Amino acid sequence: MDLVFLDADKEGYADYLKQLLLLLRCGGTVIGHSIEPGRADPACLQAISTNRELDAVFANFGSGGLSVTLKKR
């Protein structure tokens, strides 16, 4: 896979991310919906921000936020 848009139950995001990374090619991107403090699962935020195989950018908007995560290797 090259691109995934993740918009599901927020408590499952960390597990979904783990499973998706197995299918995502190097250079692929995961866009996570509703990723902002107070709504996002802290385990997911930690998984994205501590994995050396990933580069992530977080963008917050008035009613929600997104994460854009690139799989480097």
Domain boundaries, the chain: 3-63
Model confidence pLDDT, tens digit, residues 45-72: 888 889 999 999 988 876 678 889 999 9
Q: What SS3 state is found at 10?
A: helix
How far is Cα 29 from Cα 56, in angstroms, rounded to an integer?
A: 9
pLDDT of residue 59: 86
